[in-house]
């Protein structure tokens, strides 16, 4: 097969198919031979529900995968940043470059962003294939010390970089990260590099927190799913000596909360943890509508921000942090599944097995 690809046609309906090898229609295009593809929570959601918001068109299907690494196979006539044979991490979205968001430096908010494995119209094909086309400025050359498996983690590490930058984490701060999945772990690792004095990871599964303590050496708190967010917040503040005594006791001495689970209880707990004037960044994606303590957000005058993927400079910094060994991603790699068994990797992730499961690119 020239370009074998895993195509999703709807919930629980994926097929291995032949696709055309993408043509280099722009002189700055590059063609990448895919080595590994990471499984993301969104992949699992697509596999179980056929999409998030927009659903896959069952008449056309869509090639899956957006966390990927590979080797440059051929290049356009004007490419200067990379050469054939270079190993690269791939930023899986290309903006229009001309709208107000792009021109102002926030290209990740471009309304015409073509993000890998995103339903249209028009559909954007993903990287779960043998050959994937990108633009030269959205691939990042790897040093010899970074393997192609590790390079898959540049994508989620870039999300973490973006979240920590949005939170404006500074030296001496106490940072609480809600959720200890891949993004939560990487947020904690990046926050440490930004100078956070104290980092506490929160989850409802003690097994995940045990891994976090081994991996990062951070403090952890296991939330009680039977408790209210307010009670869990109060327990955490007391346990770690972060209570704020005074007239208003609806908050502690936590400077920054970065939410990485998307769970309503986690979001509410995070708001109650923060000091007055604290900072909150919503990174996890959950239900489209939830209830949260808007009065507390207002009365404590919190800086409350959303977080969408990654923007200018985030990929470059993620590559540097991984290359220099400041953020270790190898311990997060849990398994590698053969290309033809890609759906097994999605199911494995859905069951909560491992941290980051990979799918190997097609072999000759």
Looking up tokens 């953020």 gives 327
CATH of the domain at 179: 3.40.50.720
Are 67 and 37 in contact by the 8 Å Cβ rule? The answer is yes
Q: How many domains does the chain have?
A: 2
Helices (H), the chain: 41-49, 100-103, 148-151, 154-167, 182-193, 206-216, 229-239, 264-273, 294-299, 314-323, 342-350
Asked, for residue 151, whether it belongs to a domain, the answer is: no
30 within domain boundaries: yes
Residue 316 lies in a domain: no
Beta bridge partners of 243: 252
Cα–Cα distance, 66 to 127 (Å, whole number): 6
Strand partners, 305: 281
Structural domain includes residue 318: no
For residues 310 and 107, give the distance between their C-alpha atoms in angstroms, rounded to a whole number: 9
How far apart, in Å, are the Cα atoms of 77 and each of 24, 28, 30, 71, 130? 9, 7, 10, 18, 22
CB within 8 Å of 304: residues ≥ 6 apart: 280, 282, 297
Q: Identify whether residues 275 and 233 lie together within a single domain.
A: yes
Residue found by looking up tokens 């208003």 in the block: 248
Cβ atoms 202, 225 nearer than 8 A: no
pLDDT per residue as tens, the chain (364 positions): 699 999 999 999 999 999 999 999 999 999 999 999 999 999 999 999 999 889 999 999 999 999 999 999 999 999 999 999 999 999 999 999 999 999 999 999 999 999 999 998 889 999 999 999 999 999 999 999 999 999 999 999 999 999 999 999 999 999 999 999 999 999 999 999 999 999 999 999 999 999 999 999 999 999 999 999 999 999 999 999 999 876 555 678 999 999 999 999 999 999 999 999 999 999 998 888 888 899 999 999 999 999 999 999 999 999 999 999 999 999 999 999 999 999 999 999 999 999 999 999 999 8
Provide the whole-model pTM. Answer: 0.96
* Partners of residue 287 on adjacent β-strands: none
**Displacement of CA 105 from its chain's centroid (Å):** 20
> For residues 251 and 156, what is the distance between their CA atoms, to the nearest angstrom?
30
- Please report the beta strands in the chain, taking only residues with DSSP state E, as ranges in sequence order: 4-10, 13-18, 29-38, 51-52, 54-55, 62-63, 67-75, 87-90, 93-94, 114-115, 131-135, 139-141, 174-178, 198-203, 219-222, 254-259, 274-282, 303-306, 333-337, 356-360
Residue 91 lies in a domain: yes
Beta bridge pairs of residue 87: 71
Report yes or no on 146 lying in a domain.
Answer: no
Collapsed DSSP state (helix, strand, coil) of residue 308: coil
Non-local CB neighbours of 201 within 8 Å, separated by 6+ positions: 176, 177, 180, 184, 185, 188, 209, 212, 216, 218, 219, 220, 221
Asked if the structure places residue 154 within a domain, the reply is no
Q: Please state whether beta strands 254-259 and 274-282 pair in parallel, antiparallel, or not at all (unpaired).
A: parallel
Q: Are residues 290 and 164 in the same domain?
A: yes
Range of the domain at 195: 159-306
Whole-angstrom Cα distance, residue 330 to residue 346?
A: 20
Q: Which CATH number characterizes residue 98's domain? A: 3.90.180.10
């Amino acid at each position: 097969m020239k370009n074998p690809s895993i195509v999703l046609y709807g919930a629980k309906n994926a097929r291995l198919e032949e696709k055309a090898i993408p043509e280099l229609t722009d002189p700055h295009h590059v063609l990448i031979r895919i080595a590994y593809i990471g499984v993301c929570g969104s992949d699992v959601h697509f596999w179980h529900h056929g999409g998030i918001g927009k659903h896959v068109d069952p008449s056309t299907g869509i090639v899956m995968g957006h966390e990927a690494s590979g080797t440059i196979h051929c290049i356009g006539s004007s490419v200067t940043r990379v050469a054939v044979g270079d190993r690269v991490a791939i930023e899986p979205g290309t903006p229009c470059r001309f709208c107000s968001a792009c021109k102002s430096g926030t290209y990740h908010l471009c309304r015409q962003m073509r993000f890998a494995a995103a339903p249209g119209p028009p559909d954007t094909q993903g990287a779960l294939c043998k050959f994937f086309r990108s633009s030269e400025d959205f691939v990042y050359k790897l040093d010899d010390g970074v393997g192609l498996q590790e390079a898959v983690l540049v994508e989620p590490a870039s999300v973490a970089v973006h979240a920590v930058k949005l939170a404006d984490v500074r030296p001496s701060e106490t940072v609480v990260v809600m959720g200890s999945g891949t993004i939560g772990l990487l947020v904690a690792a990046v926050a440490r590099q930004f100078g956070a004095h104290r980092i506490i990871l929160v989850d409802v599964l003690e097994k995940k927190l045990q891994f976090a303590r081994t991996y990062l050496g951070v403090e952890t708190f296991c939330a009680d799913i039977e408790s209210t967010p307010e009670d869990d917040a109060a327990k955490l503040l007391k346990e770690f000596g972060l209570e704020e005594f005074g007239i208003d006791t609806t908050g502690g001495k936590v400077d920054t909360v970065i939410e990485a689970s998307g769970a309503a209880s986690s979001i509410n707990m995070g708001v109650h943890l923060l000091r007055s004037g604290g900072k909150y960044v919503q990174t996890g994606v959950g239900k489209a509508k939830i209830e949260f303590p808007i009065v507390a957000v207002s009365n404590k005058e919190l800086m409350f921000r959303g977080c969408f993927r990654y923007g200018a400079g985030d990929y470059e910094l993620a590559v540097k942090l991984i290359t220099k060994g400041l953020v270790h991603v190898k311990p997060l790699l849990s398994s590698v599944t053969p290309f033809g068994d890609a759906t097994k990797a999605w199911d494995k992730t859905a069951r909560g097995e491992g941290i980051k499961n990979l799918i190997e690119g097609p072999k000759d």
